[in-house]
Structure 1
Amino acid sequence: MFYNNAKRFLVGPAVNTIFRPWVKGLDNLPAEGAAILACNHLSFSDSVFIPVVIPRPVRFLAKNDYWKGRGISGRWNRWFFNATGQIPMDRSGGAASQNSLDNGVQSLLDGDLLGIYPEGTRSPDGRLYRGKLGVAQLALRAQVPVIPMALIGTDKVQPLDRNIPRIHRVGLIIGEPMRFDSFYGNVGDRFAQRAVTDQIMSQIMRLSGQEYVDVYASVVKQKLQAQKEAQKSK
């Protein structure tokens, strides 16, 4: 109820008035039933724009840091993410990450639209980075279609180093559903998972027009952070 009311009366009108988002390919979304929405990730505000332009409710696998904050802002984040039905994603690996994916699979089995950013983190420079295998695990375990999507211009609204958004028009391009029936018998095969993930990233690249970099964005961020710290120590 909170999700629908916020979208209809608060967030939706504000976003549509200020940012005037455009969307292509809405007819590629299923009117009902589960699907994974796999999108590039350019900005913190991505998870605001997608629910506004997608007619059906979207649940996201969101990093669990949003549930761990302290003080008033921490309590607000926990309340908001729970009220809007988001699912905490532990990115530390191992059993913790697997439990998070289990919750995502259950959401799909319940018939939800599940949003995920296969890169695992925001792009540090506007390029598209290697996808992590979680999106393939979800698709193969739940046996649902993956709908590739591309956000356009959200990095202009809120770059990594900016907390207050700028006014800039943004867009969302929704691609045709992808099915991976031939891989359903290889759910636990990491080579199959990599093949599925790479196919998804290829479609996102085609839709977004981004340059593709075949390394993880998190690795690039770590290197950039190390360079900054080295500069400070000089």
Structure 2
Amino acid sequence: MTTARFPRTWRQTAVLVPLARALRLYYRPRVHGLEAVPADRPVIYVAKHPRTWLYLETILLGLVSFWDSGRVPFRPMEKRGTSLHRLPALGWVRRHVGTIEATEEAAVAALEGGESVLVFPGGARELYGPPDALDWKGRRGYARIAARAGVPVVPIAIAGADQQHPLRLPLGRGHSAWLPPVPLPVPLDYWFGAPLEPPATKDAAEVGAFADAVAAAVEALVARASAARRKPWSLT
């Protein structure tokens, strides 16, 4: 299986990157620990899924982690064909940010092609769950991918991402109304943890232990980031 290289097309350079630069003004991001992330080899970024539906903090993550730094670009992994993909503007964005299908085969192909991947193991559980709380029970695909591809895993925490919409109104059948509908301009702090090397073997027990270690590292980083988070209207 092959994956096309990250799409630095006119849609990226003329639309999405200017959008990301505007988001930098809106969210006033600070970056912590990026210097520890390898700049010349692919990695697997793993993070808690934000409690929001607009994808803005993820677009900004691309700007601060690789577009402006020269690091290896990441390909977000996502489920295809959701209701969000059918929305006029958001659907267009999701089709052109360089996502790949959320399968182990697609992730390994991207990594072997020299690109990083971004994984939100909690998915909808964390999208609709309590703020700043991991729910990765039974989700270990990221560890199997790391072992297969032989690449490190980098924990990420985005402080403030879960505070963009203070209220969520369940509408049934998996739909929700997020309030306010436009995310609040909360300060975002991007924290990158130390890279974790996967086991050299694909033994299920060792891969499982590695998955647990990664989850614990992300949970600790989320707690640290949350404790250090700036006040919503801070100017610093």
Same fold (TM over 0.5): yes
Kept in 2, the 8 Å contact 1:41–1:151? The answer is no
User: Distance between the aligned counterparts of 2:97 and 2:85, measured in 1?
Assistant: 17
For the pair 1:204 / 2:223, whether they are aligned, the reply is: no
Aligned match for 1:18, one of 10, 22, 26? 26
For the pair 1:103 / 2:121, whether they are aligned, the reply is: no
Residue 164 of structure 1 and its aligned partner are, at CA, apart by: 1.7
Q: Residues 181-220 of structure 1 correspond to what in structure 2 (within 5 A)?
A: 183-187=199-203, 189=204, 191-209=205-223
User: Distance between the aligned counterparts of 2:183 and 2:84, measured in 1?
Assistant: 24
Aligned match for 1:86, one of 88, 99, 107? 99
Residue 84 of structure 1 and its aligned partner are, at CA, apart by: 2.3
Cα 1:153/1:66, change in 2 over 3 Å: same
Residue 11 of structure 1 and its aligned partner are, at CA, apart by: 1.7
Aligned match for 1:133, one of 113, 127, 140? 140
For the pair 1:179 / 2:192, whether they are aligned, the reply is: no
Q: What secondary structure, in the 3-state scheme, does the structure 2 residue paired with 1:209 have? A: helix
- Normalising by structure 2, we get a TM-score of 0.72
Residue 193 of structure 1 and its aligned partner are, at CA, apart by: 2.9
Aligned match for 2:48, one of 28, 40, 44? 40
Kept in 2, the 8 Å contact 1:146–1:177? The answer is yes
Aligned match for 2:151, one of 144, 147, 155? 144
The count of residues paired between Structure 1 and Structure 2 equals: 192
Kept in 2, the 8 Å contact 1:67–1:88? The answer is no
Q: What RMSD over aligned residues (CA atoms) do the two structures have, in Å? A: 2.3
Cα 1:23/1:68, change in 2 over 3 Å: closer
Residue 178 of structure 1 and its aligned partner are, at CA, apart by: 0.5
Residue 184 of structure 1 and its aligned partner are, at CA, apart by: 2.7
Residue identity over aligned pairs, in percent, reads 23
Higher helix share goes to which structure?
1
Tell me the equivalent position of 2:234: none
Kept in 1, the 8 Å contact 2:59–2:97? The answer is no
Q: Residues 56-75 of structure 1 correspond to what in structure 2 (within 5 A)?
A: 56=71, 57-66=73-82, 69-70=85-86, 73=87
Kept in 1, the 8 Å contact 2:164–2:185? The answer is yes
Kept in 2, the 8 Å contact 1:67–1:77? The answer is no
1:181-227 Cα offsets, whole Å, 9 max, x none, are: xx33225x2x33321111001111111117xxxxxxxxxxxxxxxxx
Cα 1:33/1:160, change in 2 over 3 Å: farther
